[in-house]
Amino acid sequence: MHTLSLTELAAAVKGRLFVSPTVTQSIISKAVTDSRTYFKGSNPVFFALIGPSNNGHRYILQLQEKGMQVFVVSDKSAINKKGTFILVDNTKTALQNLAAFTRNRFKYPVIGITGSNGKTIIKEWLHDILSSEYKIVRSPKSYNSQVGVPLSVLLMNDEFDLGIFEAGISEPGEMKNLEEIISPNIGVLTNIGDAHQENFVSTEQKLNEKLQLFKNCKSLVFRTDNDLINRQANEFCKKHKIEKINWTLENRETAIRFSAERNTDNTQITAFYKDKTFKFTIPFTDDSAIENACHCFAYLLALPENPEKYISKFAQLQPIAMRLEIKQGINNCLLINDYYNSDLNSLTIALSVLQQQAAKEHLHKQVILSDIQQTGLDKEFLYKKVDELFRQWGIDRVIGIGPDISAHKNAFTIDAEFYHSRADFEERFLRNKFNSSVILIKGARQFEFEKISGLLQQKAHQTVLEINLNALINNLTVFKNLLKPETKIMVMVKAFSYGSGDVEIARLLQYQNVDYLAVAVADEGVQLRNAGITVPIIVMNPEQNSFQNIIDYHLQPNIYSLELLVNFTKAVSVNGLQNFPVHLKIDTGMNRLGLKTKHEISEIINSLKASNRLTIQSVFSHLAGSDDPELDEFTHHQFEQFEKCFEFISKSFPYKIDRHILNSAGIERFPEKQYNMVRLGIGLYGISQTDLPLENIGTLKSTISQVKSVKTNETVGYNRKGKVNGRSKIAVVPIGYADGLDRKLSNRNGQAFVNGNRVPIIGNICMDMLMLDVSGTNAKPGDTVEFFGPNISITELAEKVGTIPYEILTGISQRVKRIYVQE
């Protein structure tokens, strides 16, 4: 962000400035919108954004404790004497105003990209193609929203001479804001699809809205092979006097014609433009990659220079992995893999994730970093900036790999060691030098840092359960939007967080500011506390031999009987404690744990009032059939019983007590009964009873080990159950029932997804492997195989084995490596 004085900042955001005499900061050079990603740093301003389920004003006092001094707010009551405040009508609009102000200060060209798919890939590929000639500022990751775009544009400064920003919208009216912020000179329209269609009356309306990004462009790149795009883009360009850089793969009448010849592992593309012919090769064969590459080359033809000098860059293009991977490492380490690219902006984002994961104070923070390339900055200045970042984020140790970073090792003031190449590091690698650390592995693609990750990762089993943390956050937000802002959320993380991994999920939920976590037994709670989780944790099934752990680790037990209450009270008394928090469970018809009769409840009340050892935090019950409309009458009976019991209990004590009864299905179907709190379980993991827009968070996948031919009349697997129909192609995959894949999926009942094809499981599933009939496909060893995920739903899998999604999720063996991905 270009530096501004407080007065300039207030003018840019169109706000009223309140300066505290105690504040020393007078220059602003960084905008922060998420209090959780701010650790340290010079000259920041915090924009207190208000969203559907959160309010940034709540975190101002926390940020002041961290040392932040300047805030943009829309709530006047948030202003205090400890900071400088700028009061605006709307903080999101203020952020956008600041970004538009910043954009107008720079005259170098900006490319704007929008469409339904391919925005991020085209942005990254254009960067890779052009970075040898230009100093490029671009959107980090896929920052293309109403908040992401301004944060991207605020990265502009005098060091760059080209900007590339992507823009995404989800409803009408949004692109007007983004056009004013990006103000592109050249536009790229990727395509039009079904994403976010629910908020538009037609595809035509959505396309017209996307085109608004380009209304002041000099030229627009678009493909004409879609009739809707061809018609509307042509009309738009004519209306706004924009030069058309239109192209085709189908021999239509356009400025540019492409033809593509696919080979085994690459595609040769020929471009025909005016009276010239250009040939280039990309290392991909799929339709989307070919389309994205054609968009990139079409843009080059809009430049005044000869595109020939960029042609060799296309053969070097790489797949775009825009997500961080988080996985368990050796010696109690946690790995954060981010080896797509290495630049200052993406490094800052990755460091915020590292800080989020480093929950335990005694966990060291280490970074393995490659050369940072194509920045255009003086190398000495660049690596001093990197060292400053590392000091701000409290990094304990850095390992630099590459000739450039090694040549500038004197720029680093923290503990550091350097290697000229990855091979040099591997040759001198010692496992015992990596202990109890969170390790960020951050490198440019050509350094192949995935090989370093292989050295440091805990498990090498090819079968993995990939957990999408962005999808989990989306699902949490969907449920938050069904609740009142003041309703608390308890999230169930018992049973290894439904098989998804307890500590990692708990860390994310703590980061998302949930109110409570719930575990089944005390040992699960102890593990979370040892991992640095500080959120209140309820133990649903407390056992007498776990009382001391509950007390020592500040867990909160569910009290479901008088006997349990008496015994736990004694344990609290022995420890000399008072007002220890507990929760009362009422049985309203589930006939599982809980207080069922008025006599039992009266005895509990009397016992609690007889001493000051315990304090009731909440009273709750559990619905037996909230997901079944045929049981709604019984569910309403449970509500009535619960409300009577709660009234009886709450009147007996002078303090406020929370109450909760809704599980995930209950939140969806009976939101009017949310009371003070709800308990979110399976819904967080992507299972909905009412077709909520939840996302699948888990993908169970493995890799083909071997492919073989099987002749007619031969069989596959144990007991010769796998019958082939003619000569067949069989793939062997290292996943079996010991990994949690149910044997009922054997013999063509279950399927897998390989290279765009659903293929049946053939024969009996073995303990450690299974076989697939991949006849008629191009499946080969090393190909990825999905068993559930985006292409095969976990609900479908559960139905085939006659069970519920809970059992599928919790049944995935812990020998299956969990990998966490996050954009």
| Identified catalytic residue from 365, 494, 673, 729 | 494
236 & 111 share domain? yes
CA distance 43 to 45: 7
Question: Is the residue at 20 inside a domain?
Answer: yes
721 & 764 share domain? yes
* Chain CA centroid to CA 338, Å: 13
Reduced to 3 states, what is the DSSP secondary structure of residue 541? coil
pLDDT along the chain (823 residues), means of 10: 90 94 83 82 89 85 90 95 94 97 96 93 94 90 90 93 94 94 97 77 93 96 95 96 95 92 91 94 91 96 89 89 78 85 78 78 86 80 92 93 95 95 92 90 86 82 87 92 93 80 86 92 92 93 94 96 96 95 96 92 95 95 94 96 96 96 96 96 90 90 94 89 90 94 94 94 94 93 93 92 89 87 78
530 & 668 share domain? yes
92 & 130 share domain? no
Of 685, 710, 734, the residue at which a domain comes to its end is 685
124 & 228 share domain? yes
Question: Is the residue at 716 inside a domain?
Answer: yes
Query: Is 767 one of the annotated binding-site residues?
Result: yes
Cβ(401)–Cβ(419) under 8 Å? yes
What's 490's domain CATH number?
Answer: 3.20.20.10
Of 653, 685, 717, the residue at which a domain comes to its end is 685
Question: Is the residue at 50 inside a domain?
Answer: yes
Reduced to 3 states, what is the DSSP secondary structure of residue 739? helix
Cβ(295)–Cβ(188) under 8 Å? yes
Of 633, 656, 685, the residue at which a domain comes to its end is 685
What's 276's domain CATH number?
Answer: 3.40.1190.10
Active site residue 718: yes
CA distance 56 to 93: 14
Active site residue 494: yes
> How is residue 756 annotated by DSSP?
T
Cα 15 to Cα 57, 80, 101, 150, 559: the distances in Å are 16, 16, 14, 17, 52
180 & 303 share domain? yes
The dihedral formed by the CA atoms of 445, 411, 4 and 78, expressed in degrees to the nearest 10 = 80
Question: Is the residue at 449 inside a domain?
Answer: yes
Question: Is the residue at 160 inside a domain?
Answer: yes
pLDDT at 345: 76
Cβ(717)–Cβ(766) under 8 Å? yes
Q: What share of the chain is helix, strand, coil (3-state, %, to 5)?
A: 35, 25, 40
Where does residue 361 rank: exposed (0-12), middle (13-18), buried (19+ CB within 10 A)? exposed
403 & 540 share domain? no
pLDDT at 376: 67
Question: Is the residue at 693 inside a domain?
Answer: no
Cα 396 to Cα 363, 383, 431, 440: the distances in Å are 10, 16, 18, 12
504 & 643 share domain? yes
Cβ(115)–Cβ(108) under 8 Å? no
Cβ(52)–Cβ(476) under 8 Å? no
723 & 664 share domain? no
Question: Is the residue at 153 inside a domain?
Answer: yes
650 & 793 share domain? no
798 & 729 share domain? yes
Number of domains present in the structure of the chain: 5
pLDDT at 196: 64
Query: Is 36 one of the annotated binding-site residues?
Result: no
647 & 745 share domain? no
Domain housing 19: 4-96
Question: Is the residue at 786 inside a domain?
Answer: yes
Residue (of 322, 396, 327) closest to 355 by Cα position:
396
